[in-house]
Structure 1
Amino acid sequence: MAKLWCEGHSTAILCVCASPGPEGLVASGSEGGEVAIWSQEGCVVGRLNLLGEEDCTSVGFSPAAPGILYASHGDTVSVLDPRNLKGAVKEFANVGEEEINALALNESGSTLALADDSGTVRILELPEGKACRTLRRHTNICSSVAFRPHRPNNLLSAGLDMQVMLWGLQKARPLWTLNLQDIAEEEDDHQQRPGQLFNPPLAHCVSVASCGNIVACAADDGRVHLMRVGGGSKLEQQGALKAHCHGASQAHFVPFLSHPYWLASGGNDGRVALWDVSKHPVVTLEGKAKIKGAAAPYRKGKSKAKRKGVEAREEHEADVGVTEKSGPEVNINHGDKVNWLCPALLKGTASLLVADQSSSLTVYPLAEP
């Protein structure tokens, strides 16, 4: 049964994060620069208004030191002590060229990545906050960044230019770039019907499974795009889940279930879903030839031309790994547009924290199927 966490904010919550560990705290940020700290029972244990009162767009606990919380607002990152939330311990001012949309920390907590409205990704060395890399390749807003586990010099970024990039930080250049628009146009050629419209696949949120090899990206076409990173950090395969009937705003792997390929998604359609992608072709590495070799199902009563169209579309979807027949294991009608989604272990129970257009957090306990 869902629980509602209230009284932490007076404005819409924009971001949420959970500290690792059995007794970890939860942090949330909202419009107007409000930051709240919650216990695992949903009690507010701290509240702060950041200086400047710009929206708090992203929060993240240090993996190495749960007593350090980073919060982005405007072009600034504030360093906070969640157990003593009286003010910023330190501020990294003007580290974004424009408003920062997302931040991410590497596994050791020694590096902080920032994505901003200019499309720039900036890398800061911690604890000093000194900028050591500036990555410029996105041509529109950069909306999300995520470090690749076990590969501290690999960083994923995604943006409203419909690009997903894997960066090699040593040389500060992309190792590869995937253009989601090219994929969407290819699929639309096979699927579009008269009068049918498709949202462009603006990339909103990127996440990497704990194995470090599977990437998920929520996009405005309603899909969660999946990518497999192979040897030499090469893009080995890509595919997608037809996850939402409107834009998909959030996609996060859930690291504490039975395997690393449980994926949670949230969308503008007000739905929250939990997917088991362990058997998806991108994860299982089923080759394209093997998928294409499967016989297309016969549709009784359809003309030969229509059957050919259906077969071509199904063959193409299998070829690119687009999946809609196997739905989510858990499908929740949340009822409001999802701003942020955060997997968390709360008192030993796997849960999803959901922020929407309201000033409250909704907590959904997960009973693994």
Structure 2
Amino acid sequence: MSVKWTGGHSSPILCLNASKEGLLASGAEGGELTAWGEDGNLLGHTQFPGADDVTSVIFSSSCPTKLFASHGETISVLDVRALKACVDHFHVNEEEINCLSLNENENLLASADDSGAIKILDLESKKVSRSLKRHSNICSSVAFRPQRPLSLVSCGLDMQVMLWNLQKARPLWITNLEEDKAEEAEGPQSPGQLLNPALAHSVSVASCGNVFSCGAEDGKVRIFKVMGIKCEQELGFRGHSLGVSQVCFLPESYLLLSGGNDGMIRLWDVSSEIEKKQKSPTKHPHRKKPKRATFTKQGRNTSASVTEQEDHGRISPKLNIEHGEKVNWLLGTKIKGHQTILVADQTSCISVYPLNEV
């Protein structure tokens, strides 16, 4: 059973983040931003003018009370001790921002938006140092790689996943998840089975910096490994019966949380599969060239259907949580020294699940 943190919002919560000092922040529809203590007690609340949804929040590691928040096309910098007084703000994106990522040096902030662009903001000069434009549709998620402050990964509703190095203005590597869907379409199908497009919703990079995950609308969780200037897919499995809205690696591990539109939260240990791949690399079959397609932003009531035999393949979840609501954001963090899962969904509450040793 989960504990519910209530009273901080009146609208569905869209994003979460935690500081190293145990502070938490949540952003919601209608411009709501709230700061919380470890006990779920309210520390502060503000509402941005214009009522644009708060889509991403991220704490500074070097200054744990410093918070970045995206709302509409704007990035605001705040002090959680006085949320109503904005320290600074930037307007560098042309369309609504979906995700923020701060590199480990904390000199660069990436913001991905609805146009497909990723703006790289130099926080020292307060100017855009790079504008990465390769996604042909909404860029839904971006993440700097730990231990590599000039490298990041991104994904979007064009079904593409990309690896970037900021020394270049173009991606080092691109894969189109529609290729996987094309292969599946050639296999046996159950009557009435729907093949949802592999719109990519979320990326998360493990602490090692070389392994990352992507969750997509087709219900699959994919694991990639960075090999120099390219990546290889190490693992792909049916994680959910509906779209995978969130993936999140737990710190210092290959334990991966996934959350879906099916209301399920699952914990996976992908370490053994990664090690197997390293010892026995497999040959990649020839793949047909995918057709181009364009899709709109993820809806609230997306649906898919999968056969039971496609369930999870070789890998089984170490933990299943029947959350019951579509997952908007997942966060694995320590609260009072204990590993915990925090969940934002279509309600105005934060759900807190204790994560026992696995």
Q: Is the TM value for this pair above 0.5?
A: yes
Q: 1:135, 1:172 within 8 Å by CA — same for their partners in 2?
A: yes
What is the aligned partner in structure 2 of residue 192 from structure 1? Answer: 189
Q: In 2, Cα distance between the equivalents of 1:290 and 1:178? A: 17
Deviations 1:139-174 (A, max 9, x none): 000000000111111110100000000011111210
Residue in 2 that maps onto 1:145? 142
Q: Distance in 2 between matches of 1:353 and 1:160?
A: 25
Is 1:269 aligned with 2:271?
no
Percent identity of paired positions between Structure 1 and Structure 2: 53
Q: Report what 1:297 is aligned to.
A: none
- Contact preservation (8 Å) 1:214, 1:283: no
| Residue among 342, 358, 361 paired with 2:347 | 358
Q: Which residue number in structure 2 is paired with residue 126 of structure 1?
A: 123
Aligned partner of residue 82 in structure 2, secondary structure:
coil
Instruction: After TM superposition, list the pairs within 5 Å mapping 1:171-210 onto structure 2.
Output: 171-210=168-207
Report what 1:343 is aligned to: 332
CA contact (8 A) 1:14 1:28 kept: yes
Write out per-residue CA displacement over residues 192-226 of structure 1, whole angstroms, 9 at most, x where no aligned residue. Answer: 33421111110000010000111100100011111
Deviation at 1:238, TM superposition (A): 3.6
Corresponding residue number in structure 2 for 1:249: 245
Question: Are the aligned partners of 2:234 and 2:277 in contact in 1 as well (CA < 8 Å)?
Answer: no
Distance (Å, rounded) in 2 between the aligned partners of 1:242 and 1:61: 32
Secondary structure, in 3 states, of the residue corresponding to 2:327? coil
CA shift, 1:120, in A, is 0.4
Equivalent position of 2:152 in the other structure: 155
Structure 2 residue 67 is the aligned partner of structure 1 residue 79: no
Work out the CA distance in 2 between the residues paired with 1:127 and 1:288: 43
Q: For the structure 1 residues 51 and 283, does the alpha-carbon distance in structure 2 shift closer, same or farther, using more than 3 Å as the test?
A: farther
Q: Where does residue 290 of structure 2 map in the other structure?
A: none
Aligned pairs (5 A) from 1:1-369: 1-20=1-20, 23-93=21-91, 95-230=92-227, 232-256=228-252, 260-281=253-274, 284-289=277-282, 323-369=312-358
Query: Per the alignment, do residues 250 and 289 of structure 1 end up closer, same or farther by CA in structure 2, a change over 3 Å counting?
Result: closer
In structure 1, the gaps of 5 or more residues are 293-313
- Note if contact 2:222-2:233 (Cα within 8 Å) is conserved in structure 1: no
Deviation at 1:364, TM superposition (A): 0.5
Classify 1:282/1:242 alpha carbon distance in 2 versus 1 (closer, same or farther; 3 Å): farther
Give the counterpart letter for 2:165 in structure 1.
G
Alpha-carbon contact 2:267-2:320 (below 8 Å) kept: yes
Once the two structures are superposed, what CA deviation does each residue of 1:125-152 show, in whole Å capped at 9, x if it has no partner?
1144311100000000000000011111
* Structure 2: unaligned runs, 5 residues or longer: 286-308
Cα offsets for 1:275-309 (capped at 9, x unmatched): 111112477424344999xxxxxxxxxxxxxxxxx
Question: Is 1:226–1:282's contact at 8 Å kept on the other side of the alignment?
Answer: no
- d(CA) in 2 for partners of 1:24 and 1:62? 12
Please give the alpha-carbon distance, in whole angstroms, between the structure 2 residues aligned to 1:325 and 1:149: 28
TM-score, normalising length from structure 1? 0.87
Paired letter, 1:242: R
Larger Rg: 1
Alpha-carbon offset, residue 109 of structure 1: 1.2
- The SS at the match of 2:63 is coil
Distance (whole Å) between structure 2 residues aligned to residue 186 and residue 101 of structure 1? 30
Letter of the 2:235 partner, please give it.
G
Query: Which amino acid letter does the alignment assign opposite residue 106 of structure 2?
Result: G
After the TM superposition, list the runs of 4 or more consecutive aligned residues in structure 1 that deviate by more than 2 angstroms.
Answer: 190-195, 236-239, 281-284, 286-292, 322-326
Q: 2:173 & 2:354 partners in 1: Cα distance?
A: 37
| Count of residue correspondences | 335
Is the 1:239–1:282 Cα contact (8 Å) retained in structure 2?
no
CA distance in 1, matches of 2:131, 2:283: 42
**How far apart, CA to CA, are the structure 2 residues paired with 1:50 and 1:58?**
13
Name the SS for the 1:280 alignment partner. helix
Bigger fraction of residues in helix = 1
> Contact 1:247 / 1:267 at 8 angstroms: preserved in 2?
yes
TM-score (normalised: structure 2)? 0.89
Asked whether the equivalents of residues 63 and 108 of structure 1 are also in contact (C-alpha less than 8 Å), the reply is no
Structure 2 Cα separation of the partners of residues 2 and 330 of structure 1: 14
